[in-house]
Amino acid sequence: MAYDDGNIFAKILRGEIPCKKVAEDEHTLAFEDINPLRAVHVLVIPKGAYVDWRDFAATASADEQTAFTRMIAYVADITGIAGSGYRVISNIGRDGGQEVPHLHMHVLGGEPVGSLVPRG
Ligand code: 5GP
């Protein structure tokens, strides 16, 4: 899938639409999901134009990959869910249910997250 810079997260990164920022560094942005599914639901995205995990793993720099990984742990720390536990999910492609074609990790917690994937 080619990267489409009209996607909603690209617009957030360009400041064209607002977000509730949780944390940011040179390579990564974390912000609250607009439709939270748990008490804590934060999206972590790279600032670079990567469609999904495969694209990011293959082409992002080591610094970008390190920043992304660390930001997920940092978000868990600053939202207070690191101790009680949380889940990190990335939906990828059609079967994965990815709606926004810019790589993102969902960080969910603050209450029990439930079974890994519902049957159905
Ligand atoms: P996906 O299904 O692609 O893994 O998840 C996309 C997520 O982006 C959804 O959880 C959805 O609620 C969130 N989302 C969609 N549009 C916006 C928006 O404009 N702002 C924010 N903060 N989140 C959004």
In degrees to the nearest 10, what's the CA dihedral of 85, 8, 117, 82? Answer: 0
Average pLDDT, the chain: 96
Nearest atom in ligand 1 to the alpha carbon of residue 100 is 3
- The mean pLDDT value for 33-53 works out to 98
Task: Examine the pLDDT at 12 and tell me if it is beyond 90.
Answer: yes
Q: Spell out the long-range contacts of 11-16 with Cβ–Cβ below 8 A and sequence spacing 24 or more.
A: 13/45, 13/47
Residue 107 beta carbon below 6 angstroms from any ligand 1 atom: no
Does the model's pTM come out above 0.75? yes
Please report where in the chains the tokens 């990011």 appear, as a residue. 56
Which residue among 20, 99, 107, 108 has the greatest number of ligand 1 atoms within 8 angstroms of its CB, and so is best to mutate?
99
Query: For residue range 56-93, what is the model confidence (pLDDT) as tens digits?
Result: 999 999 999 999 999 999 999 999 999 999 999 999 99
- The mean pLDDT value for 14-34 works out to 98
